[in-house]
Amino acid sequence: MGYVGLRYSLAAILLSGCAHVAPLTPVQQETLADATELCALVREEYIYFAERKTGWDAACGNPSAMIAPVTDRAEQLRALETLADVLHDPHISFGTNSALSPRLVPSGSDYWLDGPRVVAVRQGSAAAKADLRIGDIVVAVNGMALEDALRARLQPAGVLYSAEQESWALNAAVAGHWNVPRSVTVSRTDGLETLSLASEASGEEIAPLSATLIDGSIGYIRFHDSLGDSDTVAAFDAVMNTLKDARFWIIDLRDTPGGGSTDVAEPILGRFLAEPAEYQRIRPADAPEWTKISEPYGDWTAEGPVAVLVGRWTGSMGEGLAIGFDGTGRGEVFGSDMARLAGGVDEFKLSQTGFSIRIPTYDLAHMNGTPRHEWSPPYPVLADNGGGPDLALQAARDWFASFEQ
């Protein structure tokens, strides 16, 4: 029986044991039905379900527990988001959000923790503007002790979680929710300091990319979370033509947290290829592994060394493009570990609320066989230094200088 068929039988069972004395409202009935549907959908479609089965089974044992406060559509979404959070997978997301929604990691976050230590600060972000620094030790977020904030996101309690899942919960906790003002208390050599993180301005239109010629010979192109934007390829073509005489190239993917599409990524990679090349392995759950191929693109091929810059806000298709440059041997990758968004996603629509949800349904890997979400750049350097010097960019320039010696 498929997950849609299971939804009705499971909903009946859950309702029969529901702790609510009062009858469920129509909004609550819709929410419970979609929660039950989501429980079955994840079991059937989620490529990494075996690794997260224990927590999911515990949460899905009584999804009715989450519906008591549900009175409107925003609360419906929040209840279903809370259920999906149990998977502790940043690559699972709904197609909409509300003021009650958590900020997604990495697209809605602006700093990254390894334990309590700040290891990355997003350039131009509220955290960077508040002078949060690499090496700061976070002791509290929004006045709550960091350990308590972590445990609040690491649900259900009583389950043994992996280091990867704890890292997700930690960084999700500090990212916060859209309707909650944010602060972070850090320990520095001169004592504790609490920083207020302003809400980012919204609605400002940003170009798909920016480009410039550095030192008269380096064509530099930075993508602005636009690998899913239909205008990006045309914008890329235009700047490539202005940089046609460059001897070296920098492809900056450090601001691509939202991922994107192969329809955008492959022409970018293809501009630097003289012949077709395999660039990423696809590993379905129920079919043989196969490889993605990028074709040469454009009326001329960009030659010369290529440096690709990546960091914690390089996500999904940005990660795929980075391993593509590396796997084809066409570029060297500089930076830190990326967002580590595992697998490739498909979108599903829940029957009652109509909310769409994206779930990884197949695994992805570098051409050398390393799972994409476990791959690290061969040239490690601090990639996201907030308001500090751009060390990754400098590392790439130093690498280019070695060709002129």
3-state secondary structure the chain: CCHHHHHHHHHHHHHHCCCCCCCCCHHHHHHHHHHHHHHHHHHHHCCCHHHHHHHHHHHHCCHHHHCCCCCCHHHHHHHHHHHHHCCCCCCCEECCCCCCCECCCCCCCCEEEECCEEEEECCCCHHHHCCCCCCCEEEEECCEEHHHHHHHHCCCCCCCCCHHHHHHHHHHHHHCECCCCEEEEEEECCEEEEEEECCCCCCCCCCCEEEEEECCCEEEEEECCCCCCCCHHHHHHHHHHHCCCCCEEEEECCCECCCCCHHHHHHHHHCCCCCCEEEEEEEECCCCCEEEEECCCCCCCCCCCEEEEECCCECCHHHHHHHHHHHCCCCEEEECCCCCCCCEEEEEECCCCCCEEEEEEEEEECCCCCEHHHCCCCEECCCCECCCCCHHHHHHHHHHHHHHC
pLDDT at residue 179, as a whole number: 85
Structural domain that includes position 232? 209-342+363-404
- Answer yes or no: is 123 within a domain: yes
Same domain, 192 and 146: yes
Residues with Cβ within 8 Å of residue 44, at least 6 apart in sequence:
2, 3
Same domain, 165 and 193: yes
- Answer yes or no: is 193 within a domain: yes
Same domain, 263 and 305: yes
For residue 182, what is the domain's CATH number? 2.30.42.10
Total domains, the chain:
3
Same domain, 130 and 264: no
Same domain, 218 and 336: yes
Chain segment 283-309, per-residue pLDDT in tens: 999 999 999 999 999 999 999 999 999
- Answer yes or no: is 104 within a domain: no
Last residue within a domain, chosen from 162, 197, 232: 197
Same domain, 131 and 14: no
Same domain, 231 and 154: no
Chain segment 61-97, per-residue pLDDT in tens: 887 777 778 999 999 999 999 999 999 999 999 999 9
Same domain, 154 and 66: no
Same domain, 380 and 302: yes
- Write down the pTM of the prediction: 0.91
The Cα 67–Cα 75 span in angstroms is 9
- Answer yes or no: is 356 within a domain: no
Asked, as a colleague might, if the bond just before 378 is cis with ω within 30 of 0, I would say no
- Answer yes or no: is 387 within a domain: yes
For residue 250, what is the domain's CATH number? 3.90.226.10
pLDDT band (50, 70, 90) for residue 11: very low
- Answer yes or no: is 354 within a domain: no
Same domain, 231 and 190: no
pLDDT at residue 17, as a whole number: 41
- Answer yes or no: is 106 within a domain: no
Chain segment 48-66, per-residue pLDDT in tens: 999 999 989 989 988 777 7
- Answer yes or no: is 45 within a domain: yes
